[in-house]
Amino acid sequence: MSQPKLPEDFDPVRAEAFGNRMEDLFNQMGLVLMLGIGRETGLLDVLAGRQPSTSRQIAQAAGLDERYVREWLGCLACGEVVAYAAEGETFALPGEHAAWLTGGSPGFAPGSGFPGAEWLAETFVILSQVQPLVTDCFRSGGGVPYSAYGRFHELMARDRKAFFDQILLPAVLPLFPGWGKAMEQGAAVADFGCGSGHVLHLLAQVYPKSNFTGYDISPADIDRAQAAASRLGLVNVRFHLADVAGLDVERTYDYALAFDSIHDLAHPAQALGVIARSLKPGGSLLMQEFAASSRLGENLDHPLGPWLYAQSVLYCMTVSLSQGGAGLGCMWGQERVLALLAAAGFDQVQVRRTEADPYSDYFVARVSAG
Ligand SMILES: C[S@@+](CC[C@H](N)C(=O)[O-])C[C@H]1O[C@@H](n2cnc3c(N)ncnc32)[C@H](O)[C@@H]1O
């Protein structure tokens, strides 16, 4: 078979460098899949904080088949996730790696503002399952409905709970002087696209004199939000199943929240108009979006650029397009956020960032007092 003719300016050094990157993708893919198994089987938890141990000791502690555990450890040792000592044939998980890999505490590597690899592994599996449906959309347009994503919302709810537990009260609220005091005295607050409601659960506990209302279009999320509020015995928080863009709420709230939700909506411009009108004169919206530019050229060095655009293709943009929506995608960027906020009637907008969440922009947008 004849070799394809190479272009005249073909650079073999560049080709080799790119080939090495492609090869490394196999390694990363293998690690992601094995980390998923490590989380499901509890192996990562068994390894965390454990003295260097043999595969037999680790398998025994985890109650798993030694042959599988040994091969799994081989992957993690080659990938420099666990340290291997050839002499005693032992494996150890460094504490700094365990902070990323083991669930719950901390669900986020300290100071990274991004979920640990356990989330990555589960996300990889779920998004792989919808990949064929998204591929069809490349040919025929349209999108993939929320119903196709199975456990994805449950997974996001868990991830977001860990995220908000860690940063909402200590790092995000202090960015907005005055909010805490007003909620202490009693304010009406609504969360638009509240998901499983954890932000409101946290706030309702800390500010019992305030009233909190959450809106979301997903029945499963609203059920989870209500169930958690009942479990916590909260009487100052309510959740409603609703499409934000269709709400008819006028001059009701002092503060509105929209965390990571506006870009997912089918009709974000309409929804921001609804949110602006739902605020009392002088009221403010706090909106979280991924920190990005609306110009691709300015996102090329983003440390998570490829992943965030992929997430947008596989979920954010696509769920919006499935409803005939705008399909903004999660990388729509600060310039477009500011333009949409202005068009919706917000007249003073500030953008804030916190080291605790370096991948987000926090917008505080006020409607005029007049
Ligand atoms: C990425 S999640 C964020 C959830 C939550 N705010 C958080 O930060 O964890 C986006 C949420 O927007 C909700 N959503 C999408 N379209 C909506 C609409 N038209 N009206 C209300 N909620 C909507 C989804 O169901 C989902 O719960």
Q: How confident is the model at residue 115 (pLDDT cuts 50, 70, 90)?
A: low
Distance 195 CA to ligand 1 centre (A): 5
Domain that residue 269 falls in: 117-366
Residue whose CA is at the smallest distance from ligand 1 atom 12:
193
Same domain, 22 and 91: yes
Task: Look at residue 299 and tell me whether its pLDDT is greater than 90.
Answer: yes
Same domain, 169 and 299: yes
Asked if the structure places residue 2 within a domain, the reply is no
pLDDT of residue 118: 61
Q: How confident is the model at residue 105 (pLDDT cuts 50, 70, 90)?
A: very low
The mean pLDDT of 272-286, rounded to a whole number, is 97
Distance 288 CA to ligand 1 centre (A): 12
Q: Is 357 in the pocket of ligand 1 (CB under 6 A)?
A: no
pLDDT of residue 5: 87
Distance 259 CA to ligand 1 centre (A): 8
**29-77 tens-digit pLDDT:** 999 899 889 988 999 999 998 999 999 999 999 999 999 999 999 999 9
Same domain, 152 and 289: yes
Query: Closest ligand 1 atom, CA of 271?
Result: 19
Residue whose CA is at the smallest distance from ligand 1 atom 4:
195
pLDDT of residue 102: 76
Same domain, 56 and 126: no
Of the three residues 47, 75, 101, the one that is the final residue of a domain is: 101
Residue 108 vs residue 230, higher pLDDT: 230
pTM: 0.90
* Ligand 1 pocket: which of 216, 221, 288, 317 to mutate (most atoms within 8 A of CB): 216
The mean pLDDT of 258-267, rounded to a whole number, is 97
pLDDT of residue 39: 83
Distance 64 CA to ligand 1 centre (A): 39
Same domain, 122 and 96: no
Q: How many domains is the chain built from?
A: 2
Of the three residues 101, 130, 165, the one that is the final residue of a domain is: 101
Provide the mean pLDDT of the chain. Answer: 92
Q: What is the CATH number of the domain that holds 60?
A: 1.10.10.10
CA-based angle 103:306:164, to the nearest 5?
35
Residue whose CA is at the smallest distance from ligand 1 atom 26:
195
Residue whose CA is at the smallest distance from ligand 1 atom 20:
243
Q: Is 239 in the pocket of ligand 1 (CB under 6 A)?
A: no
Q: Is 216 in the pocket of ligand 1 (CB under 6 A)?
A: yes
Query: Which neighbouring-strand residues pair with 352?
Result: 362
Task: Look at residue 186 and tell me whether its pLDDT is greater than 60.
Answer: yes
Residue whose CA is at the smallest distance from ligand 1 atom 25:
218
Asked if the structure places residue 33 within a domain, the reply is yes
Q: Are 119 and 155 a contacting pair, CB within 8 Å?
A: yes
Same domain, 150 and 36: no
Asked if the structure places residue 356 within a domain, the reply is yes
Q: Is 160 in the pocket of ligand 1 (CB under 6 A)?
A: yes
- Cα Rg of the chain, angstroms: 23
The mean pLDDT of 107-133, rounded to a whole number, is 72
Same domain, 153 and 243: yes
Place of tokens 């068009």: 343
Percent of the chain topping pLDDT 90 = 79
The mean pLDDT of 334-354, rounded to a whole number, is 96
Q: Is 261 in the pocket of ligand 1 (CB under 6 A)?
A: yes
Q: What is the CATH number of the domain that holds 254?
A: 3.40.50.150
Percent of the chain topping pLDDT 70 = 95
Task: Look at residue 17 and tell me whether its pLDDT is greater than 90.
Answer: yes
Maximum separation of any 2 CA atoms in the chain, in Å:
79
**71-85 tens-digit pLDDT:** 999 999 999 999 999
Same domain, 86 and 163: no
Q: How confident is the model at residue 320 (pLDDT cuts 50, 70, 90)?
A: very high
Query: Closest ligand 1 atom, CA of 243?
Result: 20
**191-249 tens-digit pLDDT:** 999 999 999 999 999 999 999 999 999 999 999 999 999 999 999 999 999 999 999 99
Same domain, 133 and 171: yes
Lowest-pLDDT range of 86-95, 96-105, 128-137, 268-277 = 96-105
Asked if the structure places residue 107 within a domain, the reply is no
**142-182 tens-digit pLDDT:** 999 999 998 888 888 888 888 899 899 999 999 998 999 99
Task: Look at residue 14 and tell me whether its pLDDT is greater than 80.
Answer: yes
Asked if the structure places residue 109 within a domain, the reply is no
Same domain, 143 and 289: yes
* Ligand 1 pocket: which of 261, 262, 332 to mutate (most atoms within 8 A of CB): 261
Q: How confident is the model at residue 319 (pLDDT cuts 50, 70, 90)?
A: very high
Task: Look at residue 110 and tell me whether its pLDDT is greater than 70.
Answer: no
pLDDT of residue 120: 75
Same domain, 213 and 359: yes
Same domain, 163 and 224: yes
Q: Is 89 in the pocket of ligand 1 (CB under 6 A)?
A: no
Task: Look at residue 112 and tell me whether its pLDDT is greater than 70.
Answer: no
